[in-house]
Amino acid sequence: MELIKPGILIDFMRYRRVAVIGSLLTVLVTFIVVFFYPGPKLGIDFAGGTEVQLAFNGEVGAAELRETLVDLGYEQPSVINVEGAPNQYMIRLSEVSPLSEEQQIAIRQSLTEAVSEEQITYFKFSPGGDKITFALVDERDAEELSAILEKAGANVRTLDHFGGFDDHRYEAHLVGVGDELISRLRDAFGERGPDAPLRVEWVGPRAGEQLRDSAIMSLLYSIAFIMVYIAFRFDLRYAPGAIVGFFHDVFITFGVYVIFQREVSLTTVAALLTVLAYSINDTIVIYDRIRENASKFRDKSMSELINISTSQVLSRTIVTSTTTILAVLPFFYWGTSTIQDIAFTLVFGIIIGTYSSVFISAPVTELIDRRFFQKPEASNAEARATA
């Protein structure tokens, strides 16, 4: 399918200044929305928190549920309808542990006062805060220990005893965030309230930070490997243009994500890596045609080669990008939340990536070629020709 008839030559480089200025302004706006206002809406993968999926026994609206959660004291709860399941919701809370940091300190202090510091050889809260593991030199009655913990604020479900001799280990299982949420919703909604949670997941703040750092490193490693590939596959002069294009695509796509306040999760990172793949595909197609034409038209400048090569592959680029977007759009309209996030990122990422391959990567390559690889006489002649 040929949208652009063979032989038609479009002077893309004529618009490179306008395109670069437009991209710089867009990057500036993106910088503001990402780092200042409104900022990314981090999901529990990165910010930490608890995700509970539950089903109500009666009709409950999302707005009513959200308002009830706020009234119960949960800060900025996220309520998402589960597609195809009436009265079933995914609730995301910022709380990870059923105990605050102050409560944890108080529990440790109460146990120390009750049995003495010398008796405690080990004490630790689980990352989710729903289990306390401690060891004592002498055996103590489980009910007595449970009463000590509950008096300090722990909602103990069961307390198990292990070991013997001078190493008596205890595990106090507490009512977790999910169980506490179910209990409070039952009280609030009565017969319409949910039964046991269908699924409970949590991510601690430290784990969230590690996942965030790993996600950033995965993007940087991908860009670095692609740069090395292009440098070996084509020429060193092509790599900077590709890298500028990649940062341009990922950063602006992420900015669109932030503007629409979609939740940033590991799914978002996977989608951004996919955008990188599509971006490099378009860029390599254009670079490959430039290299091919460079051997045919040795008297042409880099600017002229870019115009010729981009005009030749423009039809293919438009058809490929449009076909992919049309294939992804149904997932955005009818998919579940995770699939919608991927589709949303791909639609905007492919559009931005196609634009950058033509108007960002190629002009940067021309600039690098003119400044560092051309002879001074040829560089001055081309500068006058393209001015």
Residue with tokens 């308002």: 67
Phi/psi of residue 125, nearest 5 degrees: -90, 145
Report whether the peptide linkage leading into residue 38 is cis, meaning its omega lies within 30 degrees of zero: yes
Tally of structural domains, the chain: 3
**Token duo for residue 378:** 């040829």
Q: What is the CATH number of the domain that holds 166?
A: 3.30.980.10
pLDDT at position 34:
93
Q: Which residues pair with 35 in a beta bridge?
A: none
In a domain, 59, yes or no: yes
Whether residue 320 is found in the same domain as residue 224? yes
As a whole number of angstroms, the distance between CA 188 and CA 65 comes to 10
Q: Which of 111, 190, 196 is nearest to 149 (CA)?
A: 111
Q: Along the 387 residues of the chain, how does pLDDT read in single tens digits? A: 556 666 678 888 888 899 999 999 999 999 999 999 888 988 777 777 788 888 999 898 888 998 999 898 887 788 888 877 788 898 888 777 777 788 888 999 999 999 889 888 999 988 777 889 999 988 888 889 999 898 888 888 889 988 777 778 999 988 878 888 888 899 999 989 898 888 887 776 666 677 778 878 888 888 788 778 877 777 778 888 888 888 899 999 999 999 998 888 888 888 888 888 888 888 888 888 888 888 888 888 888 989 998 888 888 888 888 999 999 999 888 877 778 888 999 999 999 999 998 899 888 988 888 887 766 544 454 555 455
Range of 23's domain?
13-42+205-375
In a domain, 385, yes or no: no
Q: Could you give the 3-state DSSP secondary structure of residue 52?
A: strand
Whether residue 190 is found in the same domain as residue 152? no
As a whole number of angstroms, the distance between CA 226 and CA 107 comes to 52
Whether residue 36 is found in the same domain as residue 74? no
In a domain, 386, yes or no: no
pLDDT at position 129:
74
Whether residue 217 is found in the same domain as residue 293? yes
As a whole number of angstroms, the distance between CA 132 and CA 126 comes to 6
In a domain, 255, yes or no: yes
Residue with tokens 């080990």: 122
Residue 300 CB contacts under 8 Å (≥ 6 apart), including other chains = 293, 294, 308
In a domain, 194, yes or no: yes
Q: Could you give the 3-state DSSP secondary structure of residue 157?
A: strand
**Token duo for residue 282:** 């378009």
Q: Which residues pair with 134 in a beta bridge?
A: 123, 170
Q: What is the CATH number of the domain that holds 76?
A: 3.30.70
Pairing state between β 88-93 and 131-136: unpaired
Residue with tokens 């601690």: 204
pLDDT at position 300:
86
Whether residue 189 is found in the same domain as residue 291? no
Q: Yes or no: say if 103 and 153 are a contact pair by the CB < 8 Å rule.
A: yes
As a whole number of angstroms, the distance between CA 224 and CA 173 comes to 46
Phi/psi of residue 167, nearest 5 degrees: -135, 85
Whether residue 38 is found in the same domain as residue 114? no
In a domain, 383, yes or no: no
Residue 140 CB contacts under 8 Å (≥ 6 apart), including other chains = 115, 168
Residue with tokens 């949420």: 181
In a domain, 380, yes or no: no
pLDDT at position 206:
60
pLDDT at position 381:
47
In a domain, 123, yes or no: yes
CB atoms closer than 10 angstroms to residue 327: 11
Residue with tokens 């940091």: 101
pLDDT at position 255:
94
How far is C-alpha 144 from the chain's CA centre?
46
Whether residue 275 is found in the same domain as residue 236? yes
pLDDT at position 385:
47
Maximum Cα interatomic distance, the chain, rounded to a whole number of Å? 92
Whether residue 223 is found in the same domain as residue 292? yes
Whether residue 356 is found in the same domain as residue 267? yes
Whether residue 184 is found in the same domain as residue 117? no
Q: What is the dihedral of CA 262, 265, 267, 269, to 10 degrees?
A: 100
Whether residue 38 is found in the same domain as residue 87? no
As a whole number of angstroms, the distance between CA 367 and CA 354 comes to 20
Whether residue 187 is found in the same domain as residue 300? no
Q: What is the CATH number of the domain that holds 25?
A: 1.20.1640.10
**Token duo for residue 325:** 């977007």
